[in-house]
Chains A and B, each alone.
Chain A
Amino acid sequence: GENVEQHPSTLSVQEGDSAVIKCTYSDSASNYFPWYKQELGKRPQLIIDIRSNVGEKKDQRIAVTLNKTAKHFSLHITETQPEDSAVYFCAASIRGNTGKLIFGQGTTLQVKP
């Protein structure tokens, strides 16, 4: 069935460094790839998304890249800050235009001051 693999499961960086989280997906028909941030005890919140007709998208310190041929996409956070510490989830849509998302297992990012 459809699957999204996310790596690493945990990531620790120093404040100011960059962080990169990578995901691969199995469904070649996937065409929508959102990233969610979930702080402890809170709801997931969308931080950035990319659609299959775009290779890269940037929003201030956050960027996402997509390689459809290789079926992988990545989240890049530059100049990390302690408030970036959270669990990050990638997701991929599946065929059928239902909006159904398959989520990765999550990456716990710790930014050390």
Chain B
Amino acid sequence: GAGVSQSPSNKVTEKGKDVELRCDPISGHTALYWYRQSLGQGLEFLIYFQGNSAPDKSGLPSDRFSAERTGGSVSTLTIQRTQQEDSAVYLCASSPQQYQETQYFGPGTRLLVL
């Protein structure tokens, strides 16, 4: 079946502009996660959804970052007033439930803020 998909695959933007990153999880997966991966670094947790609720937003770096999920499926990560330090690969993952479940990753969106 189809895996996790993300769009766009690449995004170049100017400092100060807003960007929206989209994640389509595997059908039927109730848990969805956003991570950020800076060059040569590990994966940094941003936010987690169970259904449409976000019980854990602890990883969002600042109030410029927000995310939503609708219909228990598609999720959008929005970064307002982008800064150069926001440049990274943003990865989305989904899992059937949440606890001790394999997380399946999307291909990521590579964001470059000029």
Query: Contact mask B41-54 → A, CB, 8 Å, 1/0?
Result: 11111001010000
- How far does the alpha carbon of A36 sit from the alpha carbon of B103 in the complex, in Å? 10
> What's the A-B contact tally at a CB cutoff of 8 Å?
66
**What is the total number of residues of chain A having a CB less than 8 Å from a CB of chain B?**
26
Q: Kindly state whether residue B108 has any CB partner on chain A within 8 Å.
A: yes
Contact B42 A98 (CB under 8 A): no
Tell me the residues in window 85-110 of chain A with beta carbons closer than 8 Å to chain B beta carbons.
Answer: 89, 91, 93, 96-106
A100 adjacent to B100 (CB under 8 Å) = no
Assembly CA distance A96 to B45 (angstroms): 15
Interface residues of B in 73-114 (CB under 8 A from A): 91, 95, 97-108
> Contacts A43-B91, A49-B102, A51-B100 hold; do A101 and B45 have CB atoms under 8 A apart?
yes
Binary interface encoding of chain B residues 28-72 relative to chain A, with 1 for a CB under 8 A from any of its CBs, else 0: 000101010000111111001010000110000000000000000
Nearest Cβ in chain A — how far from B56, in angstroms? 5
Contact for B101 among A36, A96, A99, A106, CB less than 8 A: A99
The minimal Cβ–Cβ distance linking A18 to chain B, given in whole angstroms, is 24
Flag whether A67 is at the interface (Cβ < 8 A).
no
Given contacts A43-B108, A98-B48, A100-B48, contact A32 B41 (CB under 8 A): no
Q: With A43-B107, A44-B105, A93-B100 as known contacts, state yes or no: A100 contacts B91, CB within 8 Å.
A: no
- The listed residue with most A CB atoms (<10 A of its CB), out of B40, B41, B42, B91, is B42
Residues of A contacting B43 in the complex (Cβ-Cβ under 8 angstroms): 44, 89, 91, 101, 103
- The 3 A-B pairs of least Cβ separation, nearest first, read A99-B98, A103-B43, A32-B100
Interface residues of A (CB under 8 A from B): 6, 31-32, 34, 36, 42-46, 49, 51, 89, 91, 93, 96-106
6 contacts between A and B (CB under 8 A): A31-B100, A46-B104, A99-B33, A100-B33, A105-B41, A106-B42
